[in-house]
Amino acid sequence: MRANLPKKCFATRIENKHGGGVPDVHLVWDGLPCWIELKVSKGNGVKLSPHQVAWNTSYSARGGANFILVKRSVERDILLFEGDMGASLLNGGISGTEHARFTAPAPLFEALRPRLLSIYSAALRPAS
């Protein structure tokens, strides 16, 4: 992933050996931050801990931008899930959870940038 980062994108890998559910990567792309949990799957299941599901759900519920990125080892594609999809992903697997599919990192990042803009634009709108 690091080798394919767009310009003006800075990523920090988080080494969290104590649990707590904090995602693997903190990304700042031209001023727009997000968190990404990285997973690899050989089949339909994705191994997420209850702490990871709780952290991602809570962060997303408060307007944060966070995602679960799954690389499938057999199909060799990349799947992007919204952060609030952790419980659904844990219970229903890949096939039971809405996601975007990419064949390479470049299209993934092309789709991620507008999603970040949408999340932060919504957060900045005045409350009615």
Q: How much is the pTM?
A: 0.92
Could you tell me which of 107, 99, 102 has the C-alpha nearest to residue 67? 99
Residue 126 is predicted with a pLDDT of 87
Rounded to an integer, what distance in angstroms lies between the CA atom of residue 92 and that of residue 102? 20
Nearby residues of 72 by Cβ (< 8 Å), 6 or more positions away:
40, 41, 42, 78, 79, 94
pLDDT band at 90 (very low <50, low <70, confident <90, very high): very high
7 in Cβ contact with 42 (< 8 Å): no
Residue 19 has pLDDT above 80, yes or no: no
Q: Which ranges constitute the DSSP H helices of 7-104? A: 50-61, 86-92
Residue 73 has pLDDT above 90, yes or no: no
pLDDT band at 42 (very low <50, low <70, confident <90, very high): very high
CA–centroid distance for 11 within its chain: 13
Residue 11 is predicted with a pLDDT of 95
Residue 16 is predicted with a pLDDT of 78
